[in-house]
């Protein structure tokens, strides 16, 4: 019998694997990813608001908080945090019963606080459960923040639905909260979803949700709702703007594929490639106009190319150094950083949460931080929110919406765990079919 060379076996193995099935580097890299996930998870575990068990909007180790919001919980960030608890149980960072008890606490709290046609407000005061207005007229339902939370409710339900009686009870409560969201109400009887509604101001903020930004998940969930679904035409007219979402715009000779809703420039902050895709797997995900896998991967590639170009000659920029521009704390307040609004500030969540799209560069970034800046950028809840080597600016502050995607997207790179939970939910499959999506099943 003629022996087949060993390299042929290796080649056949690689051909038979999906990219995400390939070995994830070496033991050292596995330890690195475990370290980042475990430490970042502490934000949502040890740092959680105690009454609700949900995520604080922010944690400042300097003790200085704006608007007296030390105990304010964030609904979108809590959604990311609940998904992080699933990851933590999978990785044995916590015990299964500990996870279950936290879910009981958090979901029962979510069942009792005020909602607006089933949707949650952006912020709540943790100890009292009362709505805390996010801004002028923004004192009611926020359907986008609600969508970020609803992703986690579906994942929790899928994870526990075939478990013990106690686990099934949590699955039923998660399903109840999800199905009570009245997505159709937020269309205001038109063919677009509006971001906000409150009993006092109704649709006074007049903010239609259109692509491309962080909000795709809102339309997917609205189409998938078992109780208050939207029609396909709402998606086509609202999100895709009747196909105008498709664009030939390029940056660094890289196609953006979808037209970004950037206030200035042509490319938005990198969190647009993360928030909707914590549960929604973008790989091979295509509607009638764009391929979302290409959208998010090219968005990431543009950020890497920009850091390599480094037109402002900021310190510590490069594809194997600091890269990734997104909304975060900035030297003067808070900024939606992107290549056309660069303040010399790097936000670790940008590169780390892009790991499914750019594993080599994301891991190189993590190693760069540990090897060059560790004591300045690493704290009790993982990497701090943002830093600037140029300005010698290293604040010890965290934001929930930036910490959560790090844990979940690293896990999606490693195992597709959250992607699989969400994409295998029956109503999500039906919703994507309804909107004529193609995706890797």
Residue 21 domain flag: no
| Residue whose pair of structure tokens reads 């909260």 in the numeric block | 177
Residue 432 vs residues 159, 217, 420: alpha-carbon distances, Å: 21, 11, 15
DSSP 373-387: THHHHEETTEE-S-B
Domain count for the chain = 1
Coil, strand, or helix at residue 58? strand
Coil, strand, or helix at residue 11? helix
Residue 16 domain flag: no
Residue 295 domain flag: yes
**What pLDDT score was predicted for residue 441?**
62
**What pLDDT score was predicted for residue 213?**
98
**What pLDDT score was predicted for residue 68?**
67
Which residues of 289-338 form beta strands (DSSP E)? Answer: 327-330, 333-336
C-beta of residue 429 within 8 angstroms of C-beta of residue 94 = no
Say whether pTM exceeds 0.85.
yes
Residue 402 domain flag: yes
Residue 228 vs residues 76, 110, 185, 224, 403: alpha-carbon distances, Å: 21, 19, 8, 9, 31
C-beta of residue 305 within 8 angstroms of C-beta of residue 317 = no
Residue 26 domain flag: no
**What pLDDT score was predicted for residue 1?**
34
C-beta of residue 290 within 8 angstroms of C-beta of residue 255 = no
∠ Cα 62 63 65 (to 5°): 115
From first to last of its 441 residues, the chain has per-residue pLDDT tens of 333 333 333 333 333 333 333 345 589 999 999 999 999 999 999 999 999 999 999 999 988 877 668 899 999 999 999 999 999 999 999 999 999 999 999 999 999 999 999 999 999 999 999 999 999 899 999 999 999 999 999 999 999 999 999 999 999 999 999 999 999 999 999 999 999 999 999 999 999 999 999 999 999 999 999 999 999 999 999 999 999 999 999 999 999 999 999 878 899 999 999 999 999 999 999 999 999 999 999 999 999 999 999 999 999 999 999 999 999 999 999 999 999 999 999 999 999 999 999 999 999 999 999 999 999 999 999 999 999 999 999 999 999 999 999 999 999 999 999 999 999 999 999 999 999 999 986
Residue 172 domain flag: yes
**What pLDDT score was predicted for residue 406?**
98
Question: Which CATH number covers residue 279?
Answer: 1.50.10.140
Residue 381 domain flag: yes
**What pLDDT score was predicted for residue 262?**
85
**What pLDDT score was predicted for residue 17?**
39
Domain of 64 in residue numbering reads as 36-434
């Amino acid at each position: 019998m003629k022996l087949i060379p060993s390299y042929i076996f290796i080649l056949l193995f690689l051909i038979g694997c999906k990219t995400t099935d390939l070995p994830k580097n070496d033991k050292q890299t596995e330890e690195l990813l475990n370290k980042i996930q475990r430490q970042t998870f502490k934000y949502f575990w040890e740092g959680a608001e105690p009454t609700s068990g949900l995520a604080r909007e922010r944690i400042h180790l300097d003790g200085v908080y704006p608007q007296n919001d030390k105990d304010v919980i964030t609904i979108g960030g809590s959604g990311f945090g609940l998904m992080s608890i699933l990851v933590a149980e999978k990785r044995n960072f916590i015990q299964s019963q500990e996870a279950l008890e936290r879910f009981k606490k958090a979901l029962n709290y979510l069942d009792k606080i005020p909602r607006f046609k089933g949707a949650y407000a952006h912020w709540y005061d943790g100890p009292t459960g009362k709505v805390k207005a996010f801004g002028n007229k923004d004192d009611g339902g926020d359907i986008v923040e609600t969508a970020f939370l609803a992703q986690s409710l579906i994942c929790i339900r899928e994870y526990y639905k075939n478990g013990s009686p106690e686990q099934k009870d949590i699955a039923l409560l998660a399903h109840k909260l999800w199905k009570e969201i009245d997505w159709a109400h937020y269309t205001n009887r038109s063919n677009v979803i509006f971001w906000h509604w409150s009993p006092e101001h109704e649709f006074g903020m007049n903010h239609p949700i259109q692509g491309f930004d962080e909000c795709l998940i809102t339309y997917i969930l609205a189409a998938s709702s078992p109780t208050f679904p939207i029609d396909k035409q709402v998606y086509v007219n609202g999100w895709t703007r009747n196909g105008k979402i498709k664009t030939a715009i390029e940056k660094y000779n890289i196609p953006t594929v979808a037209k970004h809703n950037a206030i200035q420039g042509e490319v938005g902050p990198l969190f647009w490639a993360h928030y909707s895709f914590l549960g929604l797997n973008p790989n091979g995900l295509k509607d009638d106009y764009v391929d979302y896998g290409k959208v998010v991967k090219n968005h990431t590639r543009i950020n890497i190319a920009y850091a390599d170009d480094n037109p402002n000659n900021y310190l510590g920029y490069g594809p194997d150094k600091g890269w990734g521009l997104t909304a975060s704390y900035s030297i003067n307040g808070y900024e939606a950083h992107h290549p056309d609004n660069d303040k010399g500030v790097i936000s670790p969540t940008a590169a780390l949460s892009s790991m499914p799209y750019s594993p080599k560069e994301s891991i190189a970034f993590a190693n760069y931080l540990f090897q060059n800046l560790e004591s300045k950028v690493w704290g009790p809840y993982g990497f701090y929110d943002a830093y600037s080597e140029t300005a010698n600016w290293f604040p010890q502050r965290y934001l929930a919406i930036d910490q959560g995607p790090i844990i979940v997207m690293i896990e999606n790179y490693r195992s597709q765990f959250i992607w699989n939970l969400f994409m295998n939910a029956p109503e999500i499959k039906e919703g994507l079919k309804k909107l004529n999506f193609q995706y890797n099943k």
